[in-house]
A and B are shown apart, each in its own frame.
Chain A
Amino acid sequence: MNIDHARAHNHIVLFSPGDRTLGDAVAGYLADGLAQDETALVIATPEHRRLFERELGDRGVDVRAAAAERRLLMLDAEESTALFMTDHGPVWPRFEQAIDGALARLAPSGRGVRAYGEMVDLLWMRGRKAHAIELEQLWTRLLETRRACLFCAYTLDLLDSSASPAGLDEILAAHSHVVSSAGPELDAAVDDAVREAVGDEEFAALRALIQVSLRPGPAMSWGERALLWARANLAPHSDRIVERVRRRLQEQAVA
């Protein structure tokens, strides 16, 4: 999976339903940066750090050498969060100090830093959604003045019924770019599912309406936009639409 927009000041998000997609996306992002003489900062859970190390190795990256040369730094998400988080949310001076401290541990690079973080995901999964969004906003503020880009991943996807469309909108609005974990197959699956739910007669007009609707946050594929719109607005049909899309994507993955 190629991560476009990995450039300084950008704030990228991926909704990833599983480790396979996550490992591929993050390792690709990091390996690509290291190959271009950028440095890399990873703030992740122990399981995911091991996953990324394996995936980086598969891509020909000597992880131990990169760490020894201070081109790659991996930190624990839990411990890093504790440096600046309070019961009332993240605190900017402490956050800035913590992240700048981590960046300073990397070897100087004229090419910038690729950061990857899942502290927001930890907070989100624990129900501290407002604090996760606040932390995203602190990252965006930090990125304005650092030569770094940040890639965030949430272990949920647009088909996840535990994530409300409004919650997903909040996450999306906090980022500059979104990485799609599904390709054009999602577009077709959503079209088919909506058509089946509302009938041929209404489908064309409804599709045109969704197409001209505006959303906050970064640009998304047609399938992602239409799915979020359907989840938010087609309540009588949305569960069926989501289920049909999920089934079709699973069938395609097996095939």
Chain B
Amino acid sequence: MRVLHVDDDSGDRELLRLAFENAAPALELEQAEDGAAALERLERPPRPDLVLLDVNMPGIGGFEVLEWIRGRRELTGLPVFVLSSSGEPRDVERAYEAGASSYFEKGTGFSPLLEVARGLQSYLRVTKVTSR
């Protein structure tokens, strides 16, 4: 089960990689450093099982990536979970309006990321196992 993580912050990418290594070893993590790299990756197979998306990125931002994904027929049903440093209600509402499946705040420290990684592993296990 493959997760595509999109985040322009190299420190946050590294923390999430460590969180997945520790708490979600069954998941294969791919990382893209910005919106453009995410679109390029999503253009080619294999399709990830889930996208974990930061929204505040320079260039092609997370909301634009999200809207692009929701406009692509071949990506129909792809879960996109936002993982952002912003917990502002305005950003949360905008993400859901753009088609986010769920929204998480990065929080501070490593343990919130461990919880998200562990939860995503369970989420993909229970949804993918049944649908395959």
Residues of chain A at the chain B interface (Cβ within 8 Å): 166, 169, 173, 197-199, 202-203, 205-206, 208-210, 212-217, 229, 232-237
* Complex CA–CA separation, A203 to B103 (angstroms): 19
> With A209-B115, A212-B116 in contact, is A233–B102 under 8 Å at CB?
yes
Shortest CB-to-CB span from A104 to chain B, Å, is: 34
A interface secondary structure, majority = helix
The 6 closest A-B pairs by CB, nearest first: A209-B119, A236-B130, A216-B93, A202-B122, A205-B122, A198-B126
Contacting A206 at CB < 8 Å: which of B87, B105, B126?
B126
> With A232-B101, A237-B130 in contact, is A169–B96 under 8 Å at CB?
yes
Inter-subunit contact B103/A202 (CB<8 Å): no
Inter-subunit contact A214/B87 (CB<8 Å): yes
Give the size range of B's interface with the partner: 20 to 34
The answer to the question of B35 belonging to the interface, with a C-beta cut-off of 8 Å to chain A, is no
* Complex CA–CA separation, A213 to B125 (angstroms): 18
The answer to the question of B92 belonging to the interface, with a C-beta cut-off of 8 Å to chain A, is yes
Measured CB to CB, the nearest residue on chain B to A217 is B93
Inter-subunit contact A236/B127 (CB<8 Å): yes
For B93, the chain A residues whose CB sits under 8 A away are 173, 216-217
Inter-subunit contact A234/B104 (CB<8 Å): no
* Complex CA–CA separation, A173 to B130 (angstroms): 32
* Complex CA–CA separation, A232 to B101 (angstroms): 7
* Complex CA–CA separation, A215 to B92 (angstroms): 7
Q: Identify which of B104, B119, B125 gathers the most chain A CB atoms within 10 Å of its CB.
A: B119
The answer to the question of B89 belonging to the interface, with a C-beta cut-off of 8 Å to chain A, is yes
* Complex CA–CA separation, A173 to B104 (angstroms): 17
* Complex CA–CA separation, A221 to B105 (angstroms): 19
| 22 A–B contacts, CB within 8 A, in A order | A173-B96, A198-B122, A199-B126, A202-B122, A203-B122, A205-B118, A205-B121, A206-B122, A208-B119, A209-B115, A212-B105, A212-B107, A212-B112, A214-B104, A215-B92, A215-B96, A216-B96, A229-B102, A233-B101, A235-B127, A236-B131, A237-B126
For A235, the chain B residues whose CB sits under 8 A away are 127, 131
Measured CB to CB, the nearest residue on chain B to A197 is B126
* Complex CA–CA separation, A208 to B116 (angstroms): 8
The answer to the question of B62 belonging to the interface, with a C-beta cut-off of 8 Å to chain A, is no
Contacting A234 at CB < 8 Å: which of B96, B103, B105, B127?
B127
Inter-subunit contact A202/B125 (CB<8 Å): yes
For B110, the chain A residues whose CB sits under 8 A away are none
Inter-subunit contact B92/A209 (CB<8 Å): no
Residues of chain B at the chain A interface (Cβ within 8 Å): 79, 87, 89, 92-93, 96, 101-105, 107, 112, 115-116, 118-123, 125-127, 130-131
Shortest CB-to-CB span from B50 to chain A, Å, is: 10
Measured CB to CB, the nearest residue on chain A to B82 is A214
* Complex CA–CA separation, A205 to B119 (angstroms): 5
For B104, the chain A residues whose CB sits under 8 A away are 212-214
Shortest CB-to-CB span from B54 to chain A, Å, is: 14
Inter-subunit contact A214/B92 (CB<8 Å): yes
12 more CB-based (< 8 A) A-B contacts, given A206-B119, A213-B102: A169-B96, A203-B122, A205-B115, A206-B122, A209-B118, A209-B120, A210-B119, A216-B96, A229-B102, A232-B102, A233-B101, A235-B131
For A202, the chain B residues whose CB sits under 8 A away are 122, 125-126
Shortest CB-to-CB span from B37 to chain A, Å, is: 26
* Complex CA–CA separation, A209 to B19 (angstroms): 14
For A232, the chain B residues whose CB sits under 8 A away are 101-102
For A203, the chain B residues whose CB sits under 8 A away are 122
